[in-house]
Amino acid sequence: MGMTLLNVDAKVADQPAQYVNGRSRTTMESLEVQALANEDQAEVLAFLSRRPIHTVCMAGYIRDHGIVSPLNRGTFYGCRTQSGLLHGVALIGHATLLETQSDEALKAFAKLKHHYATSHLIRGEHSMIDRFWRHYAELGHDLRLACRELLFEQKRVAEIEGEVPDLRLATPSDLEQVMKINAELIQSECGIDPLKKDFPGFRKRILLRIQQGRIWTWRRDNQLIFKADVFAETPEMMYVEGVYVERLLRGKGNGLRCMAQLGRILLARSQSICLLINERNRRLKSFYTKAGYRFRGCYDTIYLHREN
């Protein structure tokens, strides 16, 4: 799934990003990092589509909101050769996401991110984030928490015996309950409660996801048993997160049947589904394997200082 990129000998300028014709730019000897614009969308999506399992979140943001939008919670940058060939793409903001096979591009993105003080996390393939972090740490940055995650992918739905859940899209009436569940999941992973940190913003984002038809639920006797969020969607790949099964009903096959049914629904719209799980959670590894998911690689998520 790798892609061949040009070998370049480049050095990043030791200076903050400048603005040229209204667009942020950091110049190097052989590469240039520039803020992308909406007119770059087709080119960027074509670049990201070469490795869809690793770029689904960035591509999903662009397909949903365009390249330039406050809903992306950051800025998309492209790293180009002097001839204009796109060498790498990064979303730098609340979350930093990267796609490049070039160490020099990673170094350039690290230099640029150094001046982006509001970042919360960095996430990507283990090998890529390991190289990026070496450059970033040289600029004096420390991490607060690092998590190793496992990337799983589903292309075929496992046959699970039992009741077929009647999954339905969440509605605004589900907002408060979904917010509470998602906040608990986030806090258990990184130690930050989004309900306390940014209640209005968190509520707005969950409501938007509901309005986009991205949250699936299963209720029985008016009790929410299952919930899952489709964070990003492209024709090649969907990224699922926030999978939840009511605690008292776990271990009874409800989650497996719901994930199988969700797979049937989503694979009718996209070629594949992927998700991340914490490598320490052996129970989840077994659960998703039974649901028809297969291991595809290791990811790192680095959480930065809490005050940021």
* Per-residue three-class SS string for 25-61: EEEECCEEEEECCHHHHHHHHHHHCCCHHHHHHHHHH
Question: Quick check: helix, strand or coil at residue 238?
Answer: strand
Let me know if 276 is exposed, middle or buried by CB neighbors in 10 A (0-12, 13-18, 19+): middle
Q: What does the pLDDT read at residue 306?
A: 54
Q: What is the pLDDT of residue 120?
A: 86
Mean predicted confidence (pLDDT) in 188-206: 94
In contact, 219 and 169? CB cutoff 8 Å: no
Contact at 8 Å (CB) between 218 and 167?
A: yes
Residue 308 has pLDDT above 70, yes or no: no
Question: What is the 8-class DSSP label of residue 261?
Answer: H
Task: Please check the confidence at residue 4 and state whether its pLDDT lies above 80.
Answer: no
Sketch out the chain's domains with CATH numbers: 18-141 (3.40.630), 154-298 (3.40.630.30)
pLDDT at 208: 97
CA-to-CA distance for 100 and 106, rounded, in angstroms?
7
pLDDT in tens, 125-181: 999 999 999 999 999 888 889 999 999 999 999 888 888 999 999 999 999 999 999
Confidence of residue 14 (pLDDT cuts 50, 70, 90): very low
Element (H, E) at 225: strand 223-233
- The CA-CA-CA angle for residues 26, 124, 102, to 5°, reads 45
> What is the overall mean pLDDT for the chain?
89
Q: What is the mean pLDDT of residues 69-91?
A: 95
203: pLDDT strictly greater than 70: yes
**pLDDT band at residue 198 using 50, 70 and 90 as cut-offs:** very high
pLDDT of residue 177: 97
Chain mean position to CA 288: 19
- Cβ–Cβ under 8 Å, residues 95 and 73: yes
| Long-range Cβ pairs for the range 50-55 (8 Å, 24+) | 50/3, 51/1, 51/2, 51/3, 51/99, 52/234, 52/236, 52/237, 52/272, 53/1, 53/151, 53/153, 53/237, 53/272, 53/274, 53/296, 54/1, 54/99, 54/124, 54/125, 55/89, 55/99
Using alpha carbons, select from 242, 256, 241, 244 the residue that is nearest to residue 292: 256
Average pLDDT (103-122) is 88
Q: Percent of the chain scored above 90 by pLDDT?
A: 78
d(CA 226, CA 151): 22
pLDDT (mean) for 293-305? 94
Instruction: Encode pLDDT of 17-38 as tens digits.
Output: 333 333 444 444 488 999 999 9
Long-range contact pairs involving 17-20 (C-beta distance under 8 Å, separation at least 24): 17/112, 17/115
* pTM for this entry: 0.87
Query: 174-196 in b/e burial notation, b at 16+ Cβ within 10 A?
Result: bbeebbebbbebbeeebebebbe
Question: What pLDDT digit, counting tens, does each position of 245-256 carry?
Answer: 999 999 999 999
* Residue that the structure tokens 């603005």 belong to: 19
Tell me the two tokens of residue 264. Answer: 């049937």
Which residues, in sequence order, are bridge partners of residue 244?
227
pLDDT at 31: 87
More confident residue, 131 or 307: 131
Distance between CA atoms of residues 281 and 230, nearest Å: 21
Q: What is the pLDDT of residue 118?
A: 73
Q: What is the mean pLDDT of residues 178-197?
A: 94
**Per-residue confidence (pLDDT) for residue 193, from 0 to 100:** 95
Taking residues 100-125, what's their average pLDDT?
90
Cα angle value 124/274/255 (rounded, 5°): 125
In the predicted structure, residue 187 carries a pLDDT above the cut 80? yes
* Tens of pLDDT, residues 49-72: 999 999 999 999 999 999 999 999
pLDDT over 50 at 5, yes or no: no
Mean pLDDT over 70-78 rounds to 96
Q: What is the mean pLDDT of residues 37-50?
A: 97
Residue 23 has what pLDDT? 42
Amino acid 30: pLDDT: 80
